[in-house]
Amino acid sequence: MNPAILALEDGTVFEGRAFGALTERSGEVVFNTSLTGYQEIFSDPSYSGQIVVLTYPQIGNYGSTDEDMESAHPFIEGLAVREFSPIVSNWRSEQAADAYLKTHNIPIIDSIDTRKLVRHLRTRGVMRGVLSSLSTDVPTLIEKARAIPSMAGLDLATRVSTPNSYPWSQPVEPCSPSERIKGAGESLYHVVAYDFGIKRNILRRLVTTGCRVTVVPSGTSADDVLALNPDGVFLSNGPGDPEPLVAQANEVRKMFGKKPIFGICLGHQILGLALGGKTYKLKFGHRGGNHPVLNKKTNKVEITAQNHGFAVDPDSIADSIAEITHVNLNDGTVEGLRHKSEPVFCVQYHPEAAPGPHDSLYLFDDFIGLMKEHKK
């Protein structure tokens, strides 16, 4: 096996074996605690600019399939794992995960102590790093890591967004005959979805709940969206810092009171900015499928899927404008907002899951309810 090295900006180095592409990539090193769903993580545009450490010890054992793609190609810069399985054992697999990432020029490092790496990132915070299967020159790799632009201030959403509008009509499909998922019903509502790095399963969930969807680029003006005469507007997830997206937040603000609006993840943060709030960078972010969130309206706890490195500052949201509807039970951060007088709401986590629990699917029905009420 070829050697691989992961070098962090603080001088910490991990040496392991190389899988995937024999290349060198750089980015912010983050960790995800999900037990399954590595392919959805690879192809989530929210991971643009990031090297992902997976805490589950064995990765690659069930291969990959096109049906589970969250986008047209993977967006991670690199992958770090404890053990990468060369053996694929799953009836749905179409290609080994190693071959899939190799095709897209993404390097993998395995045989490293991922527990040590994750504890380091939790203590020191996420940091920039270089993953190389080409060079063993540690001092040079560390210097390269220190030269990488910080994630703070980066507008990656514009980079990953679709260049052109397109329709979406595919509903959620069951992975096996035993999985009970209602098929797409009649398309009663037209939703315009802003693509800041949108996941396909969000689009599938919108269709499954009865929507006809038109996806538009991140820079689309409010006038152009309203000209499509939608019943509702959706703001998607995406990568990078929300703070540079001032223009997008201003366009969203123009639609308050005109159409129901629902935001997820980066869309939540953009709505926070549109409500007059501010955002800040978390020490190591929330990435995984088991984050507890309190719904303050029902007083119930939802186990949620999350993937973000920034959050909305609760002190920046005026009580007269919006209320905090959901709170993270691990660290008290804002997980949901709702406008007090307009049909506008958002959550920081991913109710569509893929991967993750389905505790929060009701939010899509809530969106349908707002559009139904607004059409009267």
| Overall average pLDDT of the 36-51 stretch | 97
| Overall average pLDDT of the 43-72 stretch | 96
Q: What is the pLDDT of residues 233-242, one digit of tens each?
A: 999 999 999 9
pTM assigned to the model: 0.95
Q: Is 265 left (phi over 0), alpha (psi -120 to 50) or beta?
A: left
Whole-number Å distance between alpha carbons of 53 and 352: 22
Domain 157-375: which CATH number of 3.40.50.880, 3.40.50.1220, 3.40.47.10, 3.40.50.720 = 3.40.50.880
Q: Where are the alpha helices (DSSP H) in 27-75?
A: 38-42
Q: What is the pLDDT of residues 319-366, one digit of tens each?
A: 999 999 999 999 999 999 999 999 999 999 999 988 999 999 999 999
Strand partners, 15: 5
Does residue 186 register a pLDDT over 80? no
pLDDT of residue 178: 52
Q: Is 346 a catalytic residue?
A: no
Classify each residue of 189-212 as buried b or exposed e, where b means 16 or more C-beta atoms within 10 Å of its C-beta. Answer: bebbbbbbbbbbbbbbbbbbbbbb
Q: Is 350 a catalytic residue?
A: yes
Q: What is the pLDDT of residues 243-285, one digit of tens each?
A: 999 999 999 999 999 999 999 999 999 999 999 999 999 999 9
Domain 3-146: which CATH number of 3.90.1820.10, 3.50.30.20, 3.20.20.70, 3.40.462.10 = 3.50.30.20
3, containing H or E segment: strand 3-8
Q: Where are the alpha helices (DSSP H) in the chain?
A: 38-42, 97-103, 114-124, 138-146, 157-160, 200-208, 222-227, 246-254, 266-274, 362-375
**Cβ-proximal residues to 178 (8 Å cutoff; 6+ apart), any chain:** none
| Overall average pLDDT of the 97-123 stretch | 97
Q: What proportion of the chain, given as a percentage, has pLDDT over 70?
A: 97
| Overall average pLDDT of the 181-209 stretch | 89
Contact present, 43 and 73 (Cβ < 8 Å) = yes
**Cβ-proximal residues to 364 (8 Å cutoff; 6+ apart), any chain:** 205, 206, 208, 209, 351, 352
pLDDT of residue 184: 58
Based on C-alpha coordinates, what's the Rg of the chain?
20
Among residues 265, 268, 335, 339, which one is catalytic?
A: 265
Among residues 9, 70, 243, 352, which one is catalytic?
A: 352
pLDDT of residue 1: 81
Indicate the pLDDT class of residue 151, thresholds 50, 70 and 90.
Answer: very high
Q: What is the pLDDT of residues 118-133, one digit of tens each?
A: 999 999 999 999 999 9
DSSP symbols for 201-270: HHHHHHHHTTEEEEEEETT--HHHHHHT--SEEEE---SS-STT-HHHHHHHHHTTTTS-EEEETHHHHH
**Cβ-proximal residues to 135 (8 Å cutoff; 6+ apart), any chain:** 5, 24, 141
pLDDT of residue 264: 98
Q: Which of 305, 311, 309, 310 is nearest to 352 (CA)?
A: 305
How far CA 37 is from CA of 27, 44, 64, 70, 249, in Å, comes to 21, 11, 10, 11, 31
Contact present, 297 and 325 (Cβ < 8 Å) = yes
In the chain, where are the structural domains located? 3-146, 157-375
Q: Is 24 a catalytic residue?
A: no
